[in-house]
Amino acid sequence: RFLPTIEAFFVVNASCTNDSGEDKKDSESLGGEANESRDGAKSGDAPKHKVEDDFDIDSLVGGRRLIQFVAANKVLLNALLRSNPALLEKGLRAMVQVPRCRPFLDFDVKRQWFKTQVRRLRQHASRRHGSLRLTIRRKHVFEDAFHRLRPRTADEMRGRLHITFVNEEGVDAGGLSREFFGILAKEMFNPNYALFTSTEDGCTFQPNPNSGINPDHLSYFRFVGRIVGKAVVDGFLLDAHFTRSLYKHMLGVKPTHHDMQAIDPDYYKNLKMILEHKLDDIGVDLTFSTEDHSFGRSHTIDLIENGRNVVVTETTKEKYVSLVCQHRMTTAIQSQIKAYLEGFHELVKPDLISIFTAKELELLISGMPEIDIDDLKKNTDYQGWKATDKEIDWFWNVMFSLSRSEKAAFLQFATGSSKVPLSGFAELQGMRGTQKFSIHKAGGSSGALMSAHTCFNALDLPVYKSEEEMKEKLLYAISEGGGGFLFA
């Protein structure tokens, strides 16, 4: 019964005061924002980044009222959109078109809207080009796919995929395609191709700044981008996890120095020390330059013009940290990112993918991880608690009772990542290297919310009166404090 009133509110307040601006927005057939940056759209451009605040909400009749209304009524709006997804293309389309409204959309609502858009593109491509049929040698999947797909247009790539393995009689009803993507997800990180390097935790990958040792590296990066885009469009999950900074590049969002933590924890710790302490106190002399060590050689790279001769001061150290992180996460791998984005955006346009956050994009590409609670329990230390305490028994009972998405959300809340190390929780990485998950007895009043220290993989667990109360507090903590991305 609220719907007509809500739609009327959106019509009035989300209308553009600038007629030409409204016309431009209406021309976006897939609900994309007119001012969205187009990463990799021009062959000569470096990756660009959008800033969501660039969208001027004052250009709307009631832009600020709209944001306040959406924030206050996000539960009701998401419930309406689940029951009637078409509203995102009709009366409530401002929820997608206005960037500041998007964070209030739940992940499953965004995903449903996205699937609807790409389904139309796939149907259009199938009518024009038919199916995409590939005959592949099982022992040469990566190379064969690279050469077979290289001449295909983006529209042809969107056709329904049919895989045939040479000298095998299997008919592809989805299983062979899934196997095909599974093999590619492993091979793209094969060190022999020199395309990606793993981060300190060994769980995530980013482009290799020295990939130029492979003469065809940019063509391969474009190919990998197309494969990731094809998997997303077709709904196949890839067992491939990239760094948060690369996901941000895919969304046109500029990485920050905090994204360095997952790439190189020790380096991030040093940067934090620079920001939080006086340079004289920690005894460092810095210039606006950085050292590159490649193939046994070292050379200095200026972060600004003549940077090696410009001293970093207290007033300029924030700029230094920003520039040195920009160099490692963007500038040093600029051509690799550009080629990868060109391939990805051929299949998935920026105005479609920009609805997601970096965490949500990782979920869209890789899905929820398998989390072995028995392995986590076996590799947990206790401080202030004993493994035999009834509260600890309650805790593990709660953990075993969680759904797959809730377990992933808990892991994100407690460790800062929803990914499981390849060798299990015994190799969980923290600020000090390998650092097991630990449960600390929290001080303060009984029944307080639990908290986490992600740098140390530590959970502060207060005293609770019952297992039911503990579960209630845990679910609240992971949904509100973990940047939640629960499936409905």
Active site residues: 455
- Phi, psi of 345, rounded to the nearest 5 degrees: -75, -15
What six digits make up the tokens of 276? 């939080």
E strand intervals along 137-273: 161-165, 196-198, 205-207
Q: How far apart are CA 118 and CA 115, in angstroms?
A: 5
Residue 39 has what DSSP assignment? Answer: T
Neighbours of 385 (CB within 10 A): 19
Three-state secondary structure call for residue 50: strand
Which residue type sits at 371? Answer: I
E strand intervals along 149-213: 161-165, 196-198, 205-207
Cα(first)–Cα(last) distance of the chain, in Å?
23
Q: How far apart are CA 132 and CA 231, in angstroms?
A: 13
Token pair 């590619």 is at which residue? 184
Kindly list the distances between the CA atom of residue 184 and the CA atoms of 189, 190, 219, in Å, as whole numbers in the listed order: 9, 10, 15
Which residue type sits at 134? Answer: L
Could you tell me the maximum CA-CA distance found in the chain, to the nearest angstrom? 70
What six digits make up the tokens of 223? 């190919």
Question: Is the CB of residue 32 less than 8 Å from the CB of residue 114?
Answer: no
Q: Quick one: which of 213, 211, 220 has its CA closest to 146?
A: 220
What six digits make up the tokens of 342? 């060109």
What six digits make up the tokens of 453? 């220290």
Q: What is the dihedral of CA 257, 217, 351, 78, to 10 degrees?
A: -60
